Structure 1
Amino acid sequence: MNDQAERVTRPFRFGVVAPITSDLRTWRDRVRRIADSGYSTLLMPDVPTWQPALAPTLATAAALTDLRVGSWVYAAALRDPRSTAWEAHSLSILTEGRFEMGIGAGRPGIEVELGLPAVSHAERRARMRDTVTALREFDGPDLHTPVVMAVSGPKSQALALEVADAVTFVLQSDDDRAETTKRVRDFPGDRDIELAQHVAAVGDGVAPFMAGPGLDTAALRAADSLIILPSDPVAAAEEIERRREEIGFSYFVIGADFADTLAPAVAKLTGR
C-alpha cells in the first residue's frame, strides 16, 4: 500500500475455521459456543475426503446459529468455476445473505494428491476469476456475495484488486513482521478492500487444516511471524490492535481449537 493513511480503518471481526474433527453433537456444541463468544464467521476448509463436504456443513452451521458462514477457502485447483459459483450463490440464498466466499489457488500439488491432473498457476488464477464472474451473474443486481481472496504473488494480488471484497495474504512460516508489513503496505489502497489475517498457531498450538505438518511455533516466534498469536488473551488483544494500526489487518481468522482461549480478546475487540 503506498500510503497507509489512505486505507479506511475497519472495525475488528473474527472468524473461526471449524472442521468436523469429532462426533456431530460435539461439533454442534462447539459451533454454538463460538457464536456465543462473539465471533462473526464460521468457516470451513475445502479438503475433499478429510471431512463432510463444505456446502452442506456450512448450511448446517448456519441453521444452528446466526453466525455468518464461509469457505476458507475454495481451492481453484480442484473446482469447476461455474458449479462453485452456483454453490456459493445457493449458500447466500439459503443463509439469507450470511455467506462469504473465500477462494484461492489451492495448496501446491493438492490436485495431484487427489488423483486429478496438475493445474498450472495461470489456470488456477483463471478459474478464480471465472468463479467470481459466474457468481456475480448468479447473484444478479439484488445480491452481492462477499468474496475473500487468498493471494500470494503480484498476479493474484492484481486479480483481487479487480474482483475481491477482502484479501488474505498467503504467508510462509519464515516471513517476518517487517517483510509482511512491507508486502501488505505495498498492496494498492485505491479500493476499500478488507485485509484479513490467517492465524495458523496460537501459543504452542497449531490449528488443524490451517498449516502444514511440523510447523514449529518456537521458530515462528523467533522469526516474528504474523501467522502466530500469543495464547494470553490480553497479549493477543494488544498484538491484534498493533497489527491493525501498523499494517491494516482487521479480520482475523483462527482455528477452532483456540476459540475459547482467545474469546476474551474477541469480546473486547469485536466491532471496535
Structure 2
Amino acid sequence: MSRPFRFGVVAPLLTDVPTWRNFVGRIADSGYSTLLMPDVPQWQPAPAPALAVAAAQTGLRVGTWVYASPLRPAWSTAWEAHSMTVLTEGRFEMGIGTGRPGIEDELRQLGMPVASPGERLTQVRQTLATLRNLDGPDVHTPVVMAVRGPKARALALEAADTVTIAALASDSRAAVAAMATDLLAERDIELALHVPVVGDTVAPFMASARETDPTALREADSLAVLPKDPAAAAEEIHRRREEIGYSYFVIGAGSAELLAPVVAELSGH
C-alpha cells in the first residue's frame, strides 16, 4: 500500500526575523508537516537554533535539509540532533548527507580539511552510530539520508527512516526513478523528493545552483520541477507516488504558499 502524503518546506532565514516567523506561522496553518533548514554557514543562522525557534512557535515537525557531514565532528552533529529531539519532544528529523555539490570550495573557504567522498560517508556513518548511542533504547531520532552512490544507498538501507536521492537537475526522470525504486525493492522505506522548482520559481537556496533553468527542466520531464497550476501539480504528485513511490515532497519556501491548496488536499491521504 502507498504511504500517505506529507509535505515539507525548506525555509532558510533570508529576511528579518519577524518576517520569517510570520512565514513559519503561515506554513504551520497550511497543512505542511515539516519546516526544514539547509546547512550553509554563509547564508543564515545555524540550523538547530532556527529550528528550535520554529518548533517553539508552532506544532510543526522540524528538520535539517540536510546536515553536511564534513562541516562538524560526527559527535557534535549527533549530540545536536539528539538534543533537538529531546527539546522538541520528538518533533525533530535529522537530515544528513555528504554535502551538496561544491562543498569542497566551502570547506576551503572555512579553513577546514577537504575530505574525500568516502571519508565524508564515513563521517555520516559515525554520526548515525553516535546518534543511536545517545538516543538509547527509549528515544528515536528519525534520520533522513540524502544519497546518490551505491555505498550511500546501502548505508541508508541500514540506518535511515527516510531517503532522498541527491539528484542533479540534469538527471533524467528514469535515472532517479531507478535509484528510488531499487531502494524500495530492498526495504519499505519512506521516499522523499526535493522539488526546487515550481513553475518558474526556483527555491531561494537553489537560486545560484547550475542547471535549475525551469524551461529546460520541464522539457526534460525532470523530477526537480512541478507545474505551477495546483490541479496539475496534484496530478503529478499522485503520478510520482504511483509510478515511483514518493510520498514525502519537499518544496522551496518561494512556492510553499502557491502549493498550499494542494498540500491541504493531499496531506495524510
TM-score, normalisation: structure 1: 0.94
1:188 CA displacement: 4.8
2:32 maps to 39
Which has the larger displacement, 190-199 or 25-34? 190-199
The alignment partner of 2:53 has SS state of helix
1:20 maps to 13
1:57 and 2:50 aligned: yes
1:88 CA displacement: 0.2
1:271 and 2:268 aligned: yes
| Residues 42-97 of structure 1 deviation map (CA, whole Å, 9 limit, x = unaligned) | 00001113111111100000011000000000001212110110000000000000
Which has the larger displacement, 229-238 or 114-123? 114-123
Q: Which residue of the other structure, out of 198, 201, 207, is the alignment partner of 1:205?
A: 201
| Residues 218-269 of structure 1 deviation map (CA, whole Å, 9 limit, x = unaligned) | 1101111001111111111100000000000000001111111000110110
Retained in 1: the 8 A contact 2:14–2:43? no
1:209 CA displacement: 1.5
Mapping 1:1-272, distance limit 5 Å: 8-107=1-100, 108=102, 109=104, 110-210=106-206, 212-214=208-210, 215-272=212-269
In structure 2, what is the Cα distance between the partners aligned to 1:210 and 1:42? 17
| Residues 6-65 of structure 1 deviation map (CA, whole Å, 9 limit, x = unaligned) | xx5110000000111111111000000000000000000011131111111000000110
Q: 1:220 to 1:167 in 2, by over 3 A?
A: same
Overall identity of the aligned pairs, in %: 64
1:182 CA displacement: 1.9
The alignment partner of 1:15 has SS state of strand
In structure 1, what is the Cα distance between the partners aligned to 2:81 and 2:177? 32
The alignment partner of 2:59 has SS state of coil
1:195 CA displacement: 0.2
> What is the number of residues matched between the two proteins?
265
Letter in 2 for 1:35: A
Letter in 1 for 2:260: A
TM-score, normalisation: structure 2: 0.96
In structure 2, what is the Cα distance between the partners aligned to 1:188 and 1:30? 34
The alignment partner of 1:85 has SS state of helix
In structure 2, what is the Cα distance between the partners aligned to 1:122 and 1:177? 26
Q: 1:175 to 1:87 in 2, by over 3 A?
A: same
1:211 CA displacement: 5.7
In structure 2, what is the Cα distance between the partners aligned to 1:189 and 1:182? 10
